[in-house]
Homo-oligomer: A and B are copies of this chain.
Amino acid sequence: MDKKFFLGIAVAAAIIFFAAAVATSLPKNTISAEDRETLYQVSTIDALMQGVYNGVQPFSEVRKHGDFGIGTFDALDGEMIALGGKYYQVKSDGNAYPVPDSATTPFSTVTFFEPDFRITTDHPMNYSELSVYLSKHLPSKNMIYAIRMHGIFPVMKVRSVPRQTPPYLPLTAAVANQTVFTYAGANGTVVGFTIPQFFAGLNVPGYHLHFISDDKKIGGHILDMTVPADASAELDITPGFHMVLPESGQFAGTDLTKDMHADLAKVER
C-alpha cells in the first residue's frame, strides 16, 4: 500500500460523495407520476359551507401536493390562488398577497398542472356559456379536470370574503359581507377545476374558478366573466383524488349529513 492506492481511494471517494449528493437530492424534487395526476384536497366543501373555517393544514404541506389550485384560509380570510408554484392570498380589499408557509387552510384543492389538451372558444361568452361550451368538449363527464385560461377578459367579476371571527356563521351568511370587484379588460389567468357531480358533498360539482392578474396584484373567486372569441383553455386530466380529513377540531363534530346543494349554488356564483 502506498500513496497512489490512497489517491485512488480519495478520487473514488470524491466521486461517491458527488454521486450521493445528486442521489439524495433527487427524491425530494421528484414527485411520482401518480401524485402529479392527482387532485389533493384538504377537508370537504360541505364542512366549509357549515362554518368549519379553522385552518387545519399549513401551506408548507399543501405546496408539496401541487403548484396550481384554489382554496381559502384560516378564518375564511380571502381566496387562494396557486399558479406556477406561487401561492397568493386575495384578501377582502381585492389585493393579492404572497402566502407564508405558516398560513393554514380549512379547505384547498391543488394539483401539479400539466395540460393534456386545449379547448378554444369560437365566440365571446359569459361564465355560464363557457361552462356549457367546455363541458361539451370534455372527453368524459366522469373525470376531474384542472383548468388554466390565460388572456385578457373583457369583464372579470370577482369576490373575496373578509376574515371571520368565531363563533363562525355558515358560508351563506359569511358571503353576505363579501366584497365584489368588476374589472374591465383584466389581464391574467383563470385557475380552477371542473369536478363530476358524484363529488357532491366533498367538492364543488361543476366549475369552480378563481382569477389572478398577470401583475399578481388583484384576483379573487370568479362570480362572472366574459371571455373573448379566441380564448384558449388548457385542461389537465386528473384521474386521482387524494383528500385528507381533519381528525379533530370543528370538523369532527359537525353534522355533515345535510344536502348543501342549494346553499352551495348561492355562494358560488
Contacts and interface: CB of A to CB of B under 8 A. Distances in A.
A193 interface: no
A185 to B, nearest CB: 37
A227 interface: no
A35 to B, nearest CB: 10
A136 interface: no
Contacts of A196: 256
Contact of A12 (B12, B47, B140, B197): B12
Contacts of A201: 197-201
A21 interface: no
A119 interface: no
Nearest to A237: B247
Contacts of A200: 201
A215 interface: no
A140 B252 contact: yes
A253 interface: yes
A15 B239 CA distance: 42
Interface of A: 1-2, 4-13, 15-16, 19-20, 23, 27, 34, 38, 44, 46-47, 139-144, 196-202, 237, 239-248, 251-257
